[in-house]
A and B are shown apart, each in its own frame.
Chain A
Amino acid sequence: MLAFILRRLLQSVVVMLVVCLISFSLFHYVGDPVASLLGQDSRLQDFEELRERLGLNDPFYMQFANYIGNALRGELGISYRLQTPVSELIASRLPATIELAMASALIALVFGVTLGVMSALKPRSFTTGVVMTLSLVGVSLPTFLIGIGLIYVFAVELQWLPSFGRGQVVDLGWWKTGLLTESGLRSLILPAITLSLFQLTLIMRLVRAEMLEVLRQDYIKFARARGLSNRAINFGHALKNTLVPVITITGLQLGSVIAFAIITETVFQWPGVGSLFVNSVQVVDVPVMAAYLMFVALVFVVINLIVDILYYVVDPRLRIAGRAAR
């Protein structure tokens, strides 16, 4: 178990290093950081001084090492656009994104798995047909259109829910939450639904496909021949086997919810890191882009690690053989 986790950790570190390299290259080669910081009418001497001060004259590997060192200390540079440290910017916007992502992940997981299992168990029923067709409509609807549609119906026409923003937030000192006020909760509903729909359909279709595959296996046929009840076969034997691959992919899907929030945050003017990123791309604010990339990679790596451990717990073949067969 320990060796397994260690190996996974090592892989995660490699992934993070690669992503660091990419974001460092972004920093280094896209645009001129000095020009972006100093503005048009500075003297050549200022340029040289700043280059020296930023370490831009050092050899590549030194700069990269510095960059990683700074990143580990949470220093991610200064936004060209807002002239504030990137780490402060991200920290102030992080709670909004995380609360949104968690809420939608929960919706996607609960409904996705339930609907997926239902439609796999009754593949030929009318309801399944409707659900499957709806899920296709779901993946064909761009997220921003879903958002606009929900705003139009529930905020503009019916005026039940707010159309933008986070509502009132409570400052816990280290975390500004919208979950403790009524307006905050009401503001969360539409964005959370919007963000969850795409993942929901994906998870549902995945669970369905895996479960249908499992139901075709010999051991299910053998379980029927042993006279086990449908309940025991479907929920005991089939579901557990379905979960093994589903855990992996679902975990990664949920991880991508955070990055996927970019669109939803833009539509609902949600003050999270996603909308920060979009605004940065538009004006090529490289430090923010680079930092955001690293942030998303970190989320990915952490979730991946959790998924691997879960996988290990569920599948005895891994547990006993003691190595990943992926």
Chain B
Amino acid sequence: MSADTTRPAAPVAAKGALARFLDSDIWFSFKRSPVTIVAATVAAVLILSALLAPLISPYDPFNPATLNLMDGFTKPFSESMFGNYFVFGSDNQGRDVLSTILYGSRISIFVGLMATLFAMVIGISLGLSAGYVGGVYDSVVMRIADIQLSFPAILIALLIFGVARGIIPPSQHESMAVWVLIIAIGLANWAQFARTVRGATMVERQKDYVAAARIMGVNPLRILLGHVLPNVMGPVLVIATINLALAIIEEATLSYLGVGVPPTQPSLGTLIRIGQQFLFSGEWWILFFPAVTLVLLALSVNLLGDWLRDALNPRLR
């Protein structure tokens, strides 16, 4: 047996796949839901502009050479006394709020995506194996997942963050902060994936196509990856979407609590933390615009996840 003998052939010509997609119920339900279309557009715009931040942002907010303290606290939609125009105003150090938001969402989205990916990989591996193997291994994994699920993710992330701080030498705190965050948030969220994948795996495992493969002696790993995994990806996709929104919020929360990314590399949460200092003295825009961006981002991703769940659940159609 060579390594790839039982893998199904690659999908047929792209045209066929596209045509199938355009005819599918998913695309149909997407077209029928204006809220979802708006959410998808908003999410796409936010993610794209974050991705292209270095190209499209009007100022470079982290280059001290271009900053001028005298530009500080400029109101939105106005020029500072030096003739610099700030759409969303500027903060105490004279940084353009729009530019900090663009760079900030870059970090927020990066951390969110990576943490979700991390949680997904752990969750899928543990869920698949637990669901397929069963027995004591399954009970132990699921009991851990149960316990972890009953603690808020933010607490677990905080703990992991605290532990990491204790282990990593202080000189490297800043450079490692983003990765520590990703690991902390990822480890706090794997349980949801594991539970769902495990449940779906237990259902699929009982199905006769798996029995057929076992009869002809296909090895268990290949059954898991070739047969079971493709069939449990639907719910995983839904959770991944919702989890992305959750991870972005968790990152913002940690940064807000002052244990996230360092202020030299502010994410949306850090920006809100900074902005809060000026909120009660009337400089509302320093907090307001990052907050709106964060909420729009989380809301649009959540709306997409909500729609995806309904669209993939045949019973609700």
Asked whether, in the complex, the Cβ of A260 is within 8 Å of the Cβ of B149, the reply is: no
Within residues 127 to 162 of chain A, which ones have a CB less than 8 A from any CB in chain B?
133, 136-137, 139-145, 148, 152, 156
Q: Tell me whether B154 is interfacial, beta carbon within 8 Å.
A: yes
- Docked Cα-Cα span, A152 to B278, in Å, equals 12
Q: Which A-chain residue is minimally distant from B163 (CB atoms)?
A: A30
Minimum Cβ distance to chain A for residue B184 (Å): 11
Which of B147, B257, B279 contacts A300 (CB under 8 A)? B147
Minimum Cβ distance to chain A for residue B32 (Å): 15
Minimum Cβ distance to chain B for residue A94 (Å): 16
- Docked Cα-Cα span, A277 to B257, in Å, equals 11
- Docked Cα-Cα span, A140 to B306, in Å, equals 12
Asked whether, in the complex, the Cβ of B154 is within 8 Å of the Cβ of A263, the reply is: yes
Asked whether, in the complex, the Cβ of B150 is within 8 Å of the Cβ of A140, the reply is: no
> How many of B's residues come within 8 Å of A, CB to CB?
39
Asked whether, in the complex, the Cβ of B155 is within 8 Å of the Cβ of A286, the reply is: no
Within residues 257 to 292 of chain B, which ones have a CB less than 8 A from any CB in chain A?
257-259, 269, 272, 276, 279-280, 287, 291
Which of B158, B161, B249, B299 contacts A137 (CB under 8 A)? B299
Which of A144, A260, A266, A293 contacts B159 (CB under 8 A)? A293
Q: Tell me whether B294 is interfacial, beta carbon within 8 Å.
A: yes
- Docked Cα-Cα span, A256 to B153, in Å, equals 10
Residues on A with C-beta less than 8 A from B257 are 144, 262-263, 266, 278
Residues on A with C-beta less than 8 A from B295 are 137, 140-142, 145
Residue of B158, B295, B315 with highest tally of chain A CB at under 10 A: B158
Which of A30, A152, A252, A281 contacts B158 (CB under 8 A)? A281
Asked whether, in the complex, the Cβ of A300 is within 8 Å of the Cβ of B151, the reply is: yes
Asked whether, in the complex, the Cβ of A255 is within 8 Å of the Cβ of B158, the reply is: no
> How many of A's residues come within 8 Å of B, CB to CB?
40
Q: Tell me whether A305 is interfacial, beta carbon within 8 Å.
A: no
Minimum Cβ distance to chain A for residue B291 (Å): 6
Which of B165, B253, B259 contacts A143 (CB under 8 A)? B253
Q: Which B-chain residue is minimally distant from A300 (CB atoms)?
A: B150
Asked whether, in the complex, the Cβ of B298 is within 8 Å of the Cβ of A140, the reply is: yes
Residues on A with C-beta less than 8 A from B298 are 140-142
Q: Which A-chain residue is minimally distant from B273 (CB atoms)?
A: A144
Within residues 24 to 45 of chain A, which ones have a CB less than 8 A from any CB in chain B?
26, 29-31
Residue of B151, B256, B302 with highest tally of chain A CB at under 10 A: B151
Which of B149, B249, B259, B302 contacts A282 (CB under 8 A)? B259
Q: Tell me whether A15 is interfacial, beta carbon within 8 Å.
A: yes
Query: When A and B form their complex, which 4 residue pairs have the shortest distance between CB atoms, in order from nearest?
Result: A30-B166, A140-B299, A140-B298, A281-B162
Residues of A at the B interface (CB closer than 8 Å) are 15, 18, 26, 29-31, 133, 136-137, 139-145, 148, 152, 156, 216, 252, 255-256, 259-260, 262-263, 266, 277-278, 280-282, 284, 286, 289, 293, 296, 300, 304
| Beyond known contacts A148-B291, A262-B257, A266-B257: 13 more, CB 8 A cutoff | A30-B163, A30-B166, A140-B295, A140-B298, A142-B269, A148-B279, A156-B279, A259-B154, A263-B253, A281-B158, A284-B165, A284-B166, A304-B150
